[in-house]
Structure formats: C-alpha cells, structure tokens
Chains A and B, each alone.
Chain A
Amino acid sequence: MQQEVVLAMLAKEPSHGYELRARLGRALGPVAEGISEGQMYVTLTRLEKGGYVARVDAPAERSDRKVYCLTPAGQERVTEWMSDVTWPRPDLTEFHMKLIAAAQSALADPVSIIDAQRRDLLRRLREIGRAVMEEQKDSDAALLLEGIVLRLQADLRWLQACEMAWTKRRTQQ
C-alpha cells in the first residue's frame, strides 16, 4: 500500500487503522477491494519505524486500538507529495512493441493480438460501468471510477487506431 496515501489520510486527525481503512473505502469504493485492515497496520508500522508517524496514547477505554498521528517529518512528506506533479503513465510502449515484434517475427498476428486486448478492455469497462451505476451519483468513489472509465475509453480509441493501421499493413503485404 502506498505510504503517502496513508500519511495523507492521517493529516486530517490522529486515527487508528480501522478508521483509516473505512475512510479509504469511502474514497475509493470498489477500487478499495482487497485492502485489508491488516495491510493498513503493516503500512502504519513501517511508517512508524521511518519516523513519519507516532503512536498517540489512546483513551483508556480504547486501549486495544493503536492511534497514530503525523510527526513533523510525516507532515513534510505529505506536503511534498501534494505538490508533486508526477503523473501515472500508462505503458503503451510494451504493447506497441508486442505488435511490431509479432509482425516481424511472424510469431503472431498483430490484429488478433489487438482484438484480444480490446475484448479484455471492453470487459473491464463493463465492470467499471456497473460499479459506477451502483455508486451514489456525486460520491468520491464515483469521481474516481469516472476517471478509470475515461482512461479505458482512451486506450480503446488507441487500439482502434492500431487495428486500422495493422489491418491496412496486412492487406498491403
């Protein structure tokens, strides 16, 4: 689990792993599936060792739950992370090379590779589309899912361009 995400959630107020997991669930909706409370504690422990978070004395009646807060170093790391402009890049190079290598080596038909890839993306889009329908219209998770949908649509559009180009090359041979 990405440490910065956990740190950023602690920026609001000191909290324990259970509450952080619940907040992550609200923010990510179905995308948060597979993240356990246990993973949250593993990340918190690592952050504690790194000096980014510290344990707060829990109220006596909740002594079973470890409450964490940001340290100044953690605070600084969150601020840096917020202003960072690194953007996730979908790696199109690998797929592009797959097509070129397939054509050059005659190991596979590029158009069949594109078709198989498109089917996979279409099925993913369907799943996400369904997840969007189940979300509350203006929820945080709906906004995230919208982004995933748009991204998949862009990928599908590129695949269409690939298909047209490779079909043309095939007929020219």
Chain B
Amino acid sequence: MNTSPRVAINGSPTVLVHAKGLRKEYGSGEGLVRALDTVDLDVNRGEAVAVMGPSGCGKSTLLHLIGGLDRPSAGQLSVAGQRVDQLSERALAHLRRDEIGFVFQAFHLMDELTAQENVELPALLAGCTPSEARARATALLEEVDLADRSRHLPSMLSGGQRQCVAIARALANDPEIVLADEPTGNLDSASAFDVLRLLEALHAKGLTLVIVTHDERIATTADRLISMRDGAFVDETWLTGGSRGRLDTFADWERLT
C-alpha cells in the first residue's frame, strides 16, 4: 500500500484535506465555464462535512477534485498529506486506491460479482492476498449488517442494501476519507434512512466524511454544512459545538397552532 511519508499539512496533522484558491474551469475563451471559483477548504481528521447547493453549483466538481478524479485548473490541494495538484497520474491512482473511498448515487457495483466479491475487489487490486481480501470483506459486510447477503448479486439486493455494499467496498482499503456524492439520491426514504444510520455509525467511529447532497436531513447529520452557489461557498454552518439546535417541544408546537 502507500509507503510515501505522511507530511503534516500547514504543520497540523489533524487537517486531512487542505484546499487553497482551488479553481476548476472547463472549456476556453467564450465558452469558459468556471465550475469552481477560488475555494478555500480545510477538512479535519474525523470531521463530517456536508456540501449543499443547487445543481451546477460546483459541489460535485469539488468532490471530484478532492477525490483525485479530476485535476484542478489552479490552486493548491492536499489530501492525506499529498499535493493532489502536483501528483503524477500513477501516484494519484495510488492515493485514490489507498486513502480515498468513493460512494456514488448510482452505487456502481459490478453486476456480475456477488456482494462479497465487490467488496473484495479493491483490496485485491491493492495487492492483498485473496484470503486477506476475503477476511476484510467478510468483516466489512458484517459491519454494514449484510453478512447474510454476501453471496447475493447486486440485482438480488434492494437499493439500500446495494448502497451499503458500496459503502463497505469504499472502506475496503481502510481509507483516510470517504467521499459520498448524493449517497441517498436513488433511494426511497426508508432505505435512505438505513444508509444515513450507517454513515452516522461510521462517522461516530472516527471516519472522515465529505457528503454532497441536496437533502437537508442528510446534510444536518454532518458536523459542518457548506452551502455553494455558482462555484463558490456562500455560507458555512457549524452544527456541532457551540449552540445546539433546540428541539421544539409540545409547548412550542402548541404555540404555532
């Protein structure tokens, strides 16, 4: 796996993602589109950050840059101690494989592989022995409460179960961070709830998460919520620490009537 030395970013080992003046443009001249316009972002180890905004606001672009699926046009970007904006393709591929877990709206499981095989795959690609990969996948499927579905093909699973398998797969190489792009976007509310519970449990165990969503309910499970518009951050809300949200009690509820 990754053997390059971990460098503390900005002298702080707690910062897992550090972006400064991050920009992404598509096209050129008249057709230039600035998908991400000079964004600064720090994500601490163990933090869960939600990014919200209307479609086309640049939230998925941001996620793709952090995940090394796309390259920034300008600015600095460090993930897990490595300068993503300066890495070679090969080094970037290793970073993606070893340190980053992806969860997509459409699950992206391999249809012809069982749940177990889907979860084993990233570990095998990272050079684990088949028995190591198997042990790891078994443990992860247990963690997402799908041990009894390990031999099922994705087509035999419900949407919520498929996404839970995809989350187990994202964890296969014990990544530093999991990036989720609309993880509940394709799910009914009951399945979305199961996925939400799972992400919460993983976060409670210390997993660092960046979730792009347009569902406020998902977003408010994070520690911090960033609102984006036209490629820029327009608001940041800290949901933990500081003042706690007040739960309307019966007395308040009655006042509304």
Interfacial residues, chain A to chain B (CB-CB below 8 A): 1-2, 24, 28, 30-35, 86, 88-91, 115, 118-120, 122-129, 131, 133, 148-149, 152-153, 156
Contact = CB atoms under 8 A, between A and B. Distances in A.
B249 A123 contact: no
20 contacts: A1-B250, A2-B254, A28-B250, A31-B253, A33-B247, A33-B249, A34-B251, A35-B251, A88-B257, A115-B235, A122-B239, A123-B244, A125-B217, A125-B245, A126-B245, A127-B244, A127-B245, A127-B246, A127-B247, A133-B197
B250 A35 contact: yes
A81 to B, nearest CB: 12
A interface secondary structure, majority: helix
B25 interface: no
A86 B248 CA distance: 21
B243 interface: yes
A27 B239 CA distance: 28
Given A123-B239, A128-B245, A133-B197, 20 more contacts: A1-B250, A1-B254, A2-B254, A24-B250, A31-B253, A32-B249, A32-B250, A33-B247, A35-B250, A35-B251, A119-B235, A122-B237, A122-B239, A124-B248, A125-B216, A127-B244, A129-B217, A133-B200, A148-B248, A148-B253
B220 interface: yes
A122 B225 contact: yes
Interface in B202-257: 216-217, 219-221, 225, 235, 237, 239, 243-251, 253-254, 256-257
Q: Which 6 A-B pairs have the closest CB atoms?
A: A123-B245, A126-B220, A127-B245, A88-B257, A124-B245, A127-B247
A91 B250 CA distance: 18
A123 B217 contact: no
B interface secondary structure, majority: mixed
A119 B256 CA distance: 20
Interface centre among B221, B246, B251 (most CB of A within 10 A): B251
B217 A30 contact: no
B220 A129 contact: yes
A90 B220 CA distance: 22
Contacts of B219: 122
Contacts of A91: 256
Contacts of A89: 256
B216 A153 contact: yes
Contact of A88 (B197, B235, B243, B256): B256
